[in-house]
Amino acid sequence: MNKVTVLGSLNVDTILRVKRFPKPGETLPLTGKSVAGGGKGANQAIAAARAGADTTFIGKVGQDQAGDFMVKQLTDSGVSAEFVQHSAEADTGSAVIMLDSSSENRILIDGGTNQKVTAADVDLAQAAIKSSDFLVSQFETPQAATLHGFELAHAANRRTILNPAPATKEVAAELLKVTDLIIPNETETETLTGIPVTDEHSMIKAAEACQTFGVANVIITVGSKGAFWMRGQEHGFVPAYKVNAVDTTAAGDTFIGALCSVLAPDLSNLAAAVRFANRASSLAVQKLGAQPSIPMAADILAAERA
């Protein structure tokens, strides 16, 4: 069983369903509304735990009901919340997700306490980081905290995984140098490298550009098409499973969490881990909501055998 520590965000998601997205100045009625746990960090941690990893979370929530709700979402899925701090500095993070009838989404985020995570918070979890196979992080918490965590992981000879999302051009060079595996989607890849992802040739070029930043291993996810991977000089493409998508909100996060649960610490089984992650993601998009849609290991394995 892999040990995974996730440093990241916790958001309460309000999901608004509409037939189509409104035009500027237009008012449209909702076709449905629901509330669920979310945040890229929490989603990835829950996906890792449900896929079988021994998972610990580092993050912050407010001293509010939303914070209690988010901690419960973690612990109910088997994620250790020992290092989730309750802060009076801000409210728990939140997101509003607008979902249309074709399962496309638009997301607005209030970072709240996610933006208050510091290197000192990371230090509290040093033992967990140093005993983990992987430390995973994203860009919904401050990069300075992630950099500190990745440096601690590298000092203990542990692997680091960066999901550079939401996309930003302001990525610290020092952070990339201590990243072992980076997992962007097409938009994030173009923002990071300046190379539009249109075909396998452009994926190779973009992955090679990431390697020049100091990241030896790259996975580029391309939604319903699948995922490209590069490990050193080796590379390949793993097609996605064809399903009827209902909500793609947590697809990428499910992919990353499931990947971490089966990935060998030396990344030697990267292609096989991507296939497993694709299967997990294909199950997640068939249900509504971020965390409610994330599958269990038994469901993923059953789908693999089907």
Cβ neighbours for 277, distance < 8 A, ≥ 6 positions apart = 227, 254, 255, 256, 258, 259, 262
Feature table: binding site for substrate: 11-13, 39-43, 140, 253
The answer to whether residues 83 and 58 touch, using CB atoms and an 8 Å cutoff, is: yes
The answer to whether residues 204 and 198 touch, using CB atoms and an 8 Å cutoff, is: no
Feature table: binding site for ATP: 185, 221-226, 252-253, 278
Report the candidate in 133, 127, 157, 131 with the shortest Cα–Cα distance to residue 53: 133
Feature table: binding site: 11-13, 39-43, 140, 185, 221-226, 247, 249, 252-253, 278, 284, 287, 289, 293
Q: Could you please report the per-residue DSSP string of 174-230?
A: HHHHT-SEE--BHHHHHHHHS----SHHHHHHHHHHHHHTT--EEEEE-GGGEEEEE
Feature table: binding site for K(+): 247, 249, 284, 287, 289, 293
Where in the sequence numbering do the catalytic residues fall? 253
With vertex at residue 297, the alpha carbon angle to CA 294 and CA 301, rounded to the nearest 5 degrees, is 115
